[in-house]
Amino acid sequence: MKEEYCDASETIKQSGLARTPQRMAVLEALILAIHPLSAADILALTAEKTKINRVTVYRILASFRDRGIIREIETGHANSSYEMACAHNPVHPHFRCRDCGRIICLPPLTLSQAWDWLAQPADFTVERIDVQLIGLCAECIKKDNGNTVASDNF
Ligand SMILES: [Zn+2]
Ligand SMILES: [Zn+2]
Ligand SMILES: [Zn+2]
């Protein structure tokens, strides 16, 4: 039977990184995440399992990203979000709320869409695909409507 999630221990072993409790905790948080996680999210999620500080979380995230274990979703702010880059989580676009910064995963690309995007001059190398749709999430629309009504001075 096909596994539903990656095994953190196996993933770290295959990457050639040493298996430390901190790396295990960060990767487990990312494997189980439903939404992309920020470094702050990961700090909160790993606090009970292992002693880890912010600098270490950033260092671990960078090492996972550089080995292709995770994808970095740049948000235009200092805080990126991260998600697994494994077969369980094929490349897909993201929606970013420009108000609260929430990142929402959108359905995966079809293979033909991905090929269309990759069809470019041969002297380019594609290192990653990063598609983001930016707007307001449902909660911020509600919040905004509330504000508009309250501050309406036509
Ligand atoms: Zn996986
Ligand atoms: Zn929002
Ligand atoms: Zn995603």
In CATH terms, is domain 1-87 a member of 1.10.3720.10?
A: no
What crossing angle do the helices spanning 39-46 and 21-32 adopt, rounded to 10°?
110
Residue 141 phi, psi (nearest 5):
-65, -45
Q: How far apart are CA 154 and CA 140, in angstroms?
A: 23
| CB under 5 Å of ion ligand 3: residues | 83, 105
Query: Top-level CATH class of 90-154?
Result: alpha beta
Nearest to 8 by CA among 38, 35, 34, 28: 28
Tell me, in angstroms, the distance from the centre of ligand 2 to residue 81's CA.
Answer: 15
Cα 152 to averaged position of ligand 1 atoms, centre (Å) = 49
**Residue range 61-89, pLDDT digits in tens:** 999 999 999 999 987 667 799 999 998 99
> What are the structural domain ranges in the chain?
1-87, 90-154
CA 121 to chain centroid, in Å, comes to 28
What does the pLDDT look like over 7-65, one tens digit per residue?
999 999 999 999 999 999 999 999 999 889 999 999 999 988 888 999 999 999 999 99
pLDDT tens figures, 87-115:
899 888 888 888 888 888 988 877 677 67
Q: Closest by alpha carbon to 25, among 62, 2, 55, 57?
A: 57
Q: How far is the CA of 19 from the centre of ligand 3 (A)?
A: 25
User: What's the CA-to-centroid distance between 128 and ligand 1, angstroms?
Assistant: 18
